[in-house]
Structure 1
Amino acid sequence: MDYTQERVATLHDYGDADPDAPAGRAAVVVPMTDREYAGLAPERVFSELERVDPAEVVVPLRAPAERVPDFREWLAEFDVNLTLLWCDGPRVESLLADAGLDGERGKGRDVWLALGVAARRDYVVVHDADTTTYEARDVRKLLFPLADGFDFSKGYYARVENDRLYGRLFRLFYEPLVAALGDGADHDVLDFLGAFRYALAGECAMTSDLARGMRVQRRWGLEVGTLGEAFRLAGADGAAQVDLGRYEHDHRAVSGPTGLSEMSEGVGSALFRAIEDAGVEPDYDALPERYREHAARFVRAYGADAAFNGLDYDSEGERDQTATYADAIAEPGPDTRLPAWADAPLDPDEVAAAAAADADDAAD
């Protein structure tokens, strides 16, 4: 049984861990889009949140106006103190434009809007709504390190489903890329980023102070950008990761407008931004070849792991993916991150009121 510690404190589940945690002082942020309306996985998530009984559940919703009434009616069925934050309404858009914060829209922007509202509580938990194996104790696990003096916690879990290894963007892009960066630099931020067993997990928790101090990626790269901000604000000694067991949720194709290849560009950009913030200057010319060398090692290692467990494994397909991901390795473009709420020219209560008024209008 694994009990190894990493550069960040690593909390293992040796059976049925369900620690005491301050759920009554926490807000849980669950970003959603219109495609998740009344789905089986979201139904499970909100039913389990009833058992958690957090101080508040904040749902930043990205959906067209005609879908908002259905969402409000459906979410009202769950016995939680829920704040629906419609992110696409005209009042919210106007507030952002007046503050000079309009621009790309995506999951990161939705979560950022919710963080401003959620940070009125002592603690903030963020997780997705598409997990079919979600349990109430997942929230308590994420919160426990915060009550024990840490500022940030991150979930990790096994991505094994249908006799296959998933988590491809992490296994085949993030892990070998961090290893390749380590060839050219010896820095605490690389040790930190390499310590997380599933760095692209969407499940994390933080103190309200950290939530207010964090800059946020607008679209892809939210999870890696969050780790970079956790390093800047809390450092390795202020961060922990917790074992959430085995998660099952949606999978993406490699190609296409929302596929893994496009996501890799955002993940790479966020990763490079985080390490540059910490003072690392990558050799972008040499990095793609270094990445390919490490990626080949990871494909071989994961292939052996899969064979050891009798799982299906497409070595050729995984090597093809690494060739695609290598094209995403480039200097990050302009910094379009949303500012920390502590510095933002916006009042989160004003945003919440605007979103509520927009949702009322949509219902009418």
Structure 2
Amino acid sequence: MEYVQERIATLHEFGEGDGMRNDLARDAAAAVGETAVIVPMTAREYESPAAERVLGELERLEPAPAAVFVPVRAAADEIGPFREWIDSFALPARVLWCNAPGVDALFAEAGLAGGFGKGRDVWLALGPAADAGGAVVVHDADARSYEAEHVRRLLAPLTMEYEFSKGYYARVERGRLYGRLFRLFYEPLVRTLADAHDAPIVDYLGAFRYALAGEFAASARLARRLRAPRAWGLEVGTLGDAYEVAGFGGTAQVDLGRHEHDHRAVAGDAGLEGMSREVAAALLRVFEEHGVDPDYETLPERYRAVGAELIDQYRADAAFNGLEYDPADERDQLTRYAESIAPPGPDARLPRWIDAPFAPADVLAAARPWRERRVGSRSQD
């Protein structure tokens, strides 16, 4: 247990007392009723144990959230059963079919056709969510350890006049360290840039204890000002915009304990190797926008050197805690991830919702699944 503060407010779970102070707990609980929750999914999460747990925990919130948006990419023959499954939960839930023909047409007409992924899905829900509540909470659906209390904990800083709240947690499972893309790519790359550049944005992005966590809360005002990368750069892009809107003083991070997530393979476009390219592009774009000019010729080599130092530290930490650790495998990941370090290329981020070429109501209409709501459904349309 520790109580170290970063450049942003860091709210720990000390394990002492009965949790949040009564007035803060009351304010955070009340805020739930004025909050829209976004839970992005893919069709593979249909009836998965982790997603079932997440939705079941959301049912336990009192009061219920103002709205729950579930953006999903699914084939035409999958969307009906998926929506029936979502309808089976006692939630004010609305499914947004992110690859519906109407959504594709809406993007094409607005000149926004192109790449898609998690960032595009969440962005589709951000506009409607910001209209539905005074705050927005976003979290993934693959956490097998998810608890309803996480929503209240993420919202607590917003009741204390912070505007952006990011979750962090330990990724230790089955006797091993996980969180590999953060530990072995994001963290050493940010440290490498911090060694060469004295810039506030470097300090800000280095202050997050798990910058790639999918869990955050934001005021509706801030949510409307997020420019989402279309795929796996979402979390980093969100931090860049949070810096501009909330800054150090308006940002907090909240201890969410220990999370157990699904795990990806390292190699290939669908693995962490592919994700690292999108994270790198988003991260380096944020740095460049805020006056940091990386030396791309030497950056990969310097990154590997910093990463090697971290691997020595992880090996010591794992041994101290009796965990399995394979430094050769981790060094191999450094080599793979180093190939992702390059100038970010064209900016394909989606616009802020305050500048969007269509309204949230247009998204709700375009992303509506083709099937009519079944009689007796608990969800709201």
User: Given the two structures, how large is their TM-score scaled by the length of structure 1?
Assistant: 0.97
How is 1:291-310 mapped onto 2 (pairs within 5 angstroms)? 291-310=303-322
2:296 maps to which residue?
284
State whether structure 2 residue 79 is matched by structure 1 residue 71: no
1:235 maps to which residue?
247
Query: Post-superposition shift, 1:56?
Result: 0.7
1:8 maps to which residue?
8
Given candidates 18, 36, 46, the residue that maps to 1:37 is: 46
Query: Post-superposition shift, 1:38?
Result: 0.6
Q: Are the aligned partners of 1:232 and 1:278 in contact in 2 as well (CA < 8 Å)?
A: no
User: In the alignment, residue 195 of structure 1 is paired with which amino acid?
Assistant: A
State whether structure 2 residue 205 is matched by structure 1 residue 196: no
Distance across 2 between alignment mates of 1:279 and 1:152: 23
In structure 1, list runs of 5 or more residues that go unmatched: none
Q: Are the aligned partners of 1:153 and 1:242 in contact in 2 as well (CA < 8 Å)?
A: yes
1:338 maps to which residue?
350
Q: Are the aligned partners of 1:152 and 1:240 in contact in 2 as well (CA < 8 Å)?
A: yes
User: In the alignment, residue 35 of structure 1 is paired with which amino acid?
Assistant: R
1:102 maps to which residue?
113
1:160 maps to which residue?
172
2:94 maps to which residue?
83
Q: Equivalent residue of 2:370, what SS?
A: helix
How is 1:1-364 mapped onto 2 (pairs within 5 angstroms)? 1-15=1-15, 17=19, 19-20=25-26, 21=28, 22-52=31-61, 53-120=64-131, 121-356=133-368, 358-360=369-371
Q: Are the aligned partners of 1:159 and 1:247 in contact in 2 as well (CA < 8 Å)?
A: yes
Distance across 1 between alignment mates of 2:224 and 2:33: 20
Q: Give the total of aligned pairs.
A: 362
User: In the alignment, residue 46 of structure 2 is paired with which amino acid?
Assistant: Y
Query: Post-superposition shift, 1:360?
Result: 2.5
Query: Which string of whole-angstrom CA distances, capped at 9 and with x for unpartnered residues, describes residues 34-81 of structure 1?
Result: 000011111110111011221110000111111111011111111110
2:377 maps to which residue?
none
Distance across 2 between alignment mates of 1:127 and 1:299: 29
2:379 maps to which residue?
none
Query: Which string of whole-angstrom CA distances, capped at 9 and with x for unpartnered residues, describes residues 125-145 of structure 1?
Result: 000001110001000000111
User: In the alignment, residue 298 of structure 2 is paired with which amino acid?
Assistant: A
Tell me how large the CA RMSD over aligned residues is.
1.3
User: Given the two structures, how large is their TM-score scaled by the length of structure 2?
Assistant: 0.93
Query: Which string of whole-angstrom CA distances, capped at 9 and with x for unpartnered residues, describes residues 174-209 of structure 1?
Result: 100001001221011000100100000000010001
Q: Are the aligned partners of 1:228 and 1:274 in contact in 2 as well (CA < 8 Å)?
A: yes
Distance across 1 between alignment mates of 2:243 and 2:304: 27
Q: Are the aligned partners of 1:68 and 1:362 in contact in 2 as well (CA < 8 Å)?
A: no
User: In the alignment, residue 207 of structure 2 is paired with which amino acid?
Assistant: A
In structure 2, list runs of 5 or more residues that go unmatched: 375-381
User: In the alignment, residue 73 of structure 2 is paired with which amino acid?
Assistant: R
Q: Are the aligned partners of 1:184 and 1:283 in contact in 2 as well (CA < 8 Å)?
A: no
Distance across 2 between alignment mates of 1:232 and 1:283: 24
Distance across 2 between alignment mates of 1:7 and 1:177: 18
